[in-house]
Each structure stands twice: as structure tokens, then as C-alpha cells.
Chain A
């Protein structure tokens, strides 16, 4: 692919010069006759946080779900265009959605640890149900994932307690640990902190900043301060279209589009 085809954000440092983690070309998503995402092209830089902002119904969640083919759970959904994950076409005919989702993990708005499982079982569920039996691997991965999600110190003494005995913020970090345990290459977050109180939110944000050292993160958020705080790049969606995509500092200080400026300054949306 030639780098001139799509807006590839210009930033300091070497991050943006490598292969993009996700290269999205002319992506459109339809539900029945309605186009939820219209002809979007952008590159998601590896080991960086890309935020998707925009008013409700602008297609940002649909866009996010298309990145690991979760939108296909809706039988009406249809997509056009191309998404490459480190060069691999994830919509290629011979690619199973299950395989894509192992490489592109997801954290949801509402924390959803499995209620029948303990904390440790929740962390390892993705491994166990994909055939990993080795106890040692599972134990190691449990600690590693819980440490990465900054939950280890809080739960190490009660790994076998029910997951839903945790607080809301802890549950969400557990869901992040669960997603990390299968070692995805990209982590998608759909408003991961919107149901949490400010303290729990700031913990999630700290965590995101830690995780981007090793993971590529795409986060949908309604909270513009959050996008400004955690992301390196920001994409502004409006009515299914990508209005502007650039370095976060640029989007929030001197956006090139009037619509973007109106939105980030709170004049609409």
C-alpha cells in the first residue's frame, strides 16, 4: 500500500513510521439499507492509543466493532472496503472471525466478567476455551495479565473468589486482564470507563497509558478530556464519516475542520 493513499498522522518519534497496526481502506458498514460507517480510511499506529470521538450515533462503535468483526454478530450487517491487521486482510474469505478476535481483543462499556467463574478463571477463560491445558502456563498468565491490568495487588489473595464480588472498576480491569491473557496484538475499548466513577476512571486511564508501551489501543470515548489525556491520535466521526484524523494535540488545539473545532470545544454534540 502506498502511504499517500490515506491520511497517515504525522507525529514526532518513530512510531508512525513503521507498518500501521491496522490499515483501514474505504470501510463502509451497512445495517440493512442504512450506512453506519461511510467510506472511512485511516491507519492505526502500532503501540499508540488512537481515540475515536464523535456524537452519539456517528458510527464510532460500529467502526470499532468492525476492527475485530464483532459487528457481524448482527446478521443484517454488511461491510465494504478492506482492513489489514499488520498486513493481513482480516476480511479475506479464508479468515475465520474467531481467529481475528484472538488477535484483536475487546473491552466493553459494561464490565462483563463471567458470573459463574472466579477471578482467576475469568482471566484464563480465553486460553482454556481455546485449548490451553497446561497449569503452569495458566498460572503464569494469570499473574502476568493481572499485573498488566494493575489488579494483581488487589486480588492476589483471593484469586478464587467470584469475579462479581469485585467492585465495578475492578471488574472492568479484570475484563482488561481477561482480554490481555490471550495476548492480542490490538486492544479495542468501547467506552471502557463511561460506567465508572472518576477514581476508577483515572485508574483505567493510567492503565491505558501503561499498556500502550506494548499494545496498540483503539478507544471509543464520549469523554473528550479522556481522549485528550490518553490518546496519541484522534479520529473525529460525524454521521458515519471520518471528518478529521490527526495527532491528538492537533485535533484539540488547531483542528483543520470547522466541525471538529465545534465539537471539541463543546459547541455541538
Chain B
């Protein structure tokens, strides 16, 4: 018996490993490039005025995006008020209650909604709110972002609740704990970190939406004085500035994009840190490792 020749097999193995490594690097490359480019182009325009002043008139130098920064917070705040309770409770229903067929239909509908182009959402809310109110408004902007959040939050909530081992539910039921208490105090509590993460991802996603806001919040070069007025938002202002012919506005658009991406980043890091309860890390480990023998 001759010694088997491993060279070809080893080569294939090394080749496939290298290929997957290159693809993994390709996945993170855009992130690095985006950060590099935004920092390079936008950092120099970040100054005190950028955060404290509203846009100057066309042709005037300086000014800032204070109204758009505040506007974005108001919009995602409204979106959270609408999207988080409905999304989380809907996810709880899908995971803990409901019949197989009904849940299949709801899940299917939510997945379709998650794939609806964001501009479509904008048109829908335009027809539902802007036309009857005869004005673009912060309210309409909040509603459109909230509606986009609902299916996202619902599906992520459902999925993390499904990760909670059935053994915990059984243990609670066997103690004579009522079903709703089991859901709130055992199931949701065990999965809380995952639910919060899902909510944050949804918030981060809608915080950068531009198209639906074009038809709803519309944008505003000054301050909005009520939710019934058009309101500025960072993605809208970045869009307007970037497509304008002025160099100064281009620089501000870069700076705005930089701030927006850091905003999204900081929301994530910050709230994750806050929601780390005393058992957080161990809990995550348990959720990953838990499996019943047989």
C-alpha cells in the first residue's frame, strides 16, 4: 500500500480556508471604508456651531444642524413610542400564544412588510396623514418610522423569545405560576437583553431613513414649533446638502453623515451597557449552551 498523497487535499483545504477568510474581510471592509471616508471628509467641519446653530441662508458660510439633530431625536422618539409596545407585544403573541396557522400568516405578513421599500411607507403615510392634515408634519414622520419599526421589532422579539428554553416555562407552570406572569417575569425577563437589542437595531435602522421622511416630515431649515409642523431630520438635511451645488453644504453633509453614524453607534453601545444586568453575561452563555439531553 502506497502512502496516500495528501498534497492535493491539503491544497484544496488551504484554498477554501483562504477564500472564506477573504470573504469575511470583504464583509467588514465597507464599514472600515465608510468610517475612514466620513471621518476624513466630515471631521474638519465638526465644530461647536455645527451642533448649536441652525442652517444659514444659501451662500452664507457657517451655520449648523442643531435643528436636524433634535428633529431626528424627536422622530425616533415618536417612532419608539409607536413601534416598541406594538412590536414587542405582537412578538410575545407570536411566540407564546396563537395557533400555528394564524401565526404563520402573521409572520408571513410581517416578513413582507419588512421587505416593503421604505419609500412606499412614505407614500402610504402621506396619503393617510399628510393629505388629511393638509401639511407635512413631525407627527407623520414619527408615524411612518414607527410603522416601519413594528414588523422589525415583532420578528426579533419573537425570535429571542423562542430562544428561551421551554424548560423555564415548564418550571414556572409547575410552580403554579399563571401564564401571563410566567411570560412577563420569566420568559421576557430572560430574553430582555435580546429584545432590547432588537429594538435598538430597529431604531438604528429607522434613524437613517430618508425616503419615507421626504413625504412626511419633509424637512425644515428652522425649528419646528409643534409636531404638526414639518420638522428637520439629519438624513433629510444630508440629502438636501449633498445634492446642492455649494461646497460648504457638501462639507456639512459629510459632517452630518459622520454624526449620524456615530449616533447610531452610540445608541447601540450605550443602551447595551445600561441593560447589562448583573447576570447578563452568564445569561447569554446559558441561552447559547442550554440544551436538554436526548
Contact = CB atoms under 8 A, between A and B. Distances in A.
A interacts with B: yes
A195 B169 CA distance: 20
A101 B173 contact: yes
A73 B174 CA distance: 11
Contacts of B185: 125, 129
Interface stretch (B6-14, B117-125, B137-145, B274-282): B274-282
B181 A129 contact: yes
A68 B174 contact: yes
Contact of B177 (A103, A110, A129): A129
Contacts, number: 92
Given A162-B279, A164-B286, A110 B293 contact: yes
Contact of B282 (A109, A162, A179): A162
A72 B293 CA distance: 22
B292 A109 contact: yes
B277 to A, nearest CB: 7
A112 B173 contact: no
Contact of A98 (B176, B279, B282): B176
A165 B282 contact: yes
Contact of A70 (B167, B173, B283): B173
A162 B175 CA distance: 20
Contact of A116 (B165, B181, B283): B283
Nearest to B189: A116
Given A99-B176, A102-B176, A162-B279, A70 B170 contact: yes
Interface string A218-247: 000000000000000000000000000000
A53 interface: no
Given A162-B278, A164-B282, A108 B175 contact: no
Interface in B36-67: none
Interface in B223-280: 277-279
Contacts of A255: none
A196 B191 CA distance: 27
Nearest to B293: A195
Given A70-B170, A114-B186, A129-B181, A105 B283 contact: no
Interface string B167-194: 1111111111110011001100110100
Interface string A109-136: 1101011110000000110011000000
Contacts of A165: 282
A138 B201 CA distance: 39
A130 B177 contact: yes
Interface residues of A, number: 33
A173 interface: no
B190 A108 contact: no
Contacts of A68: 174
A175 interface: yes
A178 interface: yes
Contacts of B178: 98, 129
Interface centre among A109, A114, A126, A182 (most CB of B within 10 A): A114
A61 B189 CA distance: 29
A33 B171 CA distance: 28
Interface string A74-116: 0000000000000000000000011111110110111010111
A247 to B, nearest CB: 28
A110 B174 contact: no
Contacts of B171: 108, 112, 114, 175, 178
Given A114-B186, A129-B185, A109 B293 contact: yes
Interface string A173-186: 00100110010000
A157 B278 CA distance: 18
B294 to A, nearest CB: 8
Interface centre among A68, A98, A165 (most CB of B within 10 A): A98
Given A70-B170, A108-B167, A109-B293, A182 B175 contact: yes
Contacts of A97: 173
Nearest to B280: A116
Given A109-B293, A114-B190, A101 B167 contact: no
A119 to B, nearest CB: 12
Given A110-B167, A115-B279, A101 B186 contact: no
B243 to A, nearest CB: 49
Given A115-B283, A162-B279, A102 B175 contact: yes
Contacts of A179: 174-175
B167 A115 contact: no
Nearest to A122: B171
A230 B293 CA distance: 24
Nearest to B279: A162
Given A98-B178, A129-B185, A112 B283 contact: no
B176 A101 contact: yes
7 contacts: A68-B174, A114-B186, A115-B279, A116-B277, A116-B279, A129-B175, A178-B175
Interface of B: 165, 167-178, 181-182, 185-186, 189-190, 192, 277-279, 282-283, 286-287, 292-293
Given A110-B293, A178-B171, 11 more contacts: A73-B170, A73-B173, A103-B176, A112-B171, A115-B283, A116-B189, A126-B175, A126-B176, A129-B177, A129-B182, A178-B175
